[in-house]
């Protein structure tokens, strides 16, 4: 990050927007914003070298790292009130009162890395278990798939709308929006996996992590999504997305994100016995891109509150 006031202000604004989108109600958002501002400003003002910032929210609370190539400094064992000339000291004193964890480490090439746990948490996101589904009324129909084993957007949206109406009628009234979308995604995901296996002549049995990642990207491409693989191994599959299949309308109905969770989670569970999906970033709530992690093994306990858990679901054929 260039050491410029404009760049620093822009970075603060981007951080503030991100925290406001993802932090749970009641989190100390002003405290997190103050920590970010103090650490970044101090790094910029005390170094004429590049400064870079990273934010890792892989656990219950986000961890902020601020790196600089300046003269470096050490965190005293017992922070005391700094003198009037010590801007960095005042900033660190403020930060120590706002966080439970602050660490300063000298970099081998010069400069320092300040790591701090921010006083915010993600909002809990409960799991919903989809109800059993039957292939007798399941959409899309096998005839709607193309030669590549994909279902187009029209078929996908038709299936979504029709089965949503059927589900509401069956249950004598609308259920919670996210629970309903999760239920529909289970059956649609089954058809998508079935079509993919048929087109690729995949044998029965669990798909490998690489093939599952290919399937996820493949099925989203068929409905005009722009998903791509960031990481794929036997523990988890991490995907990004630059374009939502629902277009801009998804911003008015964030519950539709549960379609991605349910489809990916259902496919993962059928191939691994269980799966969990973490919707880390979502275009629907203002993020520039989506970031989705499909856990093929037990996810970290720290992210369980906002992770959706799935068990294998297969058609009843009733």
Confidence of residue 174 (pLDDT cuts 50, 70, 90): very low
Residue 141 and residue 102 share a domain? no
Give a yes or no: residue 125 inside a domain.
no
Domain boundary (117, 148, 166) is at 117
Are the C-beta atoms of 222 and 151 separated by less than 8 Å?
A: yes
Residue 112 and residue 52 share a domain? yes
Residue 185 and residue 96 share a domain? no
Residue 277 and residue 196 share a domain? yes
**Considering its fold, how many domains does the chain have in total?**
2
Give a yes or no: residue 127 inside a domain.
no
Residue 101 and residue 40 share a domain? yes
Beta strands in 87-224 (DSSP E): 102-106, 112-117
> Global pTM?
0.74
Q: Among 142-156, 165-179, 230-244, 274-288, name the one with the lowest average pLDDT.
A: 165-179
Give a yes or no: residue 22 inside a domain.
yes
Confidence of residue 204 (pLDDT cuts 50, 70, 90): confident
Residue 171 and residue 283 share a domain? yes
| pLDDT per residue as tens digits for the range 226-254 | 999 999 999 999 999 999 998 887 887 78
Note down the domain range covering 164: 135-310
Long-range pairs of 80-84 with CB within 8 A, sequence gap ≥ 24: none
Q: What is the CATH number of the domain that holds 155?
A: 3.30.1380.20
Distance CA(36)–CA(48), nearest Å, equals 19
Residue 169 and residue 104 share a domain? no
Mean pLDDT of the residues in the chain: 86
Give a yes or no: residue 315 inside a domain.
no
Residue 95 and residue 40 share a domain? yes
Q: Which pLDDT value is given to residue 173?
A: 43
| pLDDT per residue as tens digits for the range 268-296 | 999 999 999 999 999 999 999 999 999 99
Are the C-beta atoms of 182 and 262 separated by less than 8 Å?
A: yes
Distance CA(202)–CA(188), nearest Å, equals 19
How many DSSP H helices and E strands does the chain contain? 7, 9
Q: Which pLDDT value is given to residue 54?
A: 94
> Taking residues 191-200, what's their average pLDDT?
95
Give a yes or no: residue 218 inside a domain.
yes
Residue 306 and residue 165 share a domain? yes
Residue 189 and residue 74 share a domain? no
Q: What is the CATH number of the domain that holds 72?
A: 3.30.565.10
CA 314 to chain centre: 26
Give a yes or no: residue 124 inside a domain.
no
Residue 110 and residue 196 share a domain? no
DSSP state of 84: T
């Amino acid at each position: 990050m260039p050491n410029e006031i404009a760049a620093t202000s822009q970075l603060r604004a981007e951080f503030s927007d991100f925290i406001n989108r993802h932090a749970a109600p009641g989190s100390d958002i002003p405290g997190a914003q103050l920590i970010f501002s103090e650490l970044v400003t101090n790094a910029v003002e005390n170094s004429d070298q590049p400064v870079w910032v990273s934010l890792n929210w892989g656990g219950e609370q986000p961890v902020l790292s601020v790196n600089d190539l300046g003269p470096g400094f050490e965190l005293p064992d017992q922070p005391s009130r700094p003198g009037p000339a010590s801007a960095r000291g005042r900033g660190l004193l403020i930060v120590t009162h706002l966080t439970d964890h602050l660490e300063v480490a000298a970099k081998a090439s010069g400069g320092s890395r300040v790591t701090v746990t921010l006083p915010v948490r993600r909002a809990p996101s409960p799991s919903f278990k989809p109800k059993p589904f039957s292939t007798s009324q399941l959409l899309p129909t096998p005839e709607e798939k193309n030669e590549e084993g994909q279902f187009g957007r029209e078929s996908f949206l038709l299936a979504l709308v029709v089965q949503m109406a059927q589900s509401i009628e069956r249950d004598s009234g609308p259920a919670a929006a996210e629970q309903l979308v999760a239920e529909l995604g289970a059956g649609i995901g089954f058809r998508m996996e079935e079509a993919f296996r048929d087109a690729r002549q995949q044998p029965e049995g669990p798909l490998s992590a690489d093939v599952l990642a290919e399937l996820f990207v493949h099925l989203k491409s068929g409905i005009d999504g722009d998903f791509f693989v960031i990481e794929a191994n036997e523990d988890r599959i991490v995907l990004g997305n630059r374009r939502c299949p629902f277009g801009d309308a998804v911003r008015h109905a964030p519950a539709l994100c549960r379609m991605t969770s349910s489809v990916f989670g259902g496919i993962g569970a059928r191939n691994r016995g269980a799966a969990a999906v973490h919707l880390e970033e979502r275009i629907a709530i203002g993020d520039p891109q989506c970031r989705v992690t499909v856990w093929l093994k037990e996810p970290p306990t720290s992210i369980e509150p906002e992770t959706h858990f799935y068990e294998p679901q297969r058609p009843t054929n009733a």
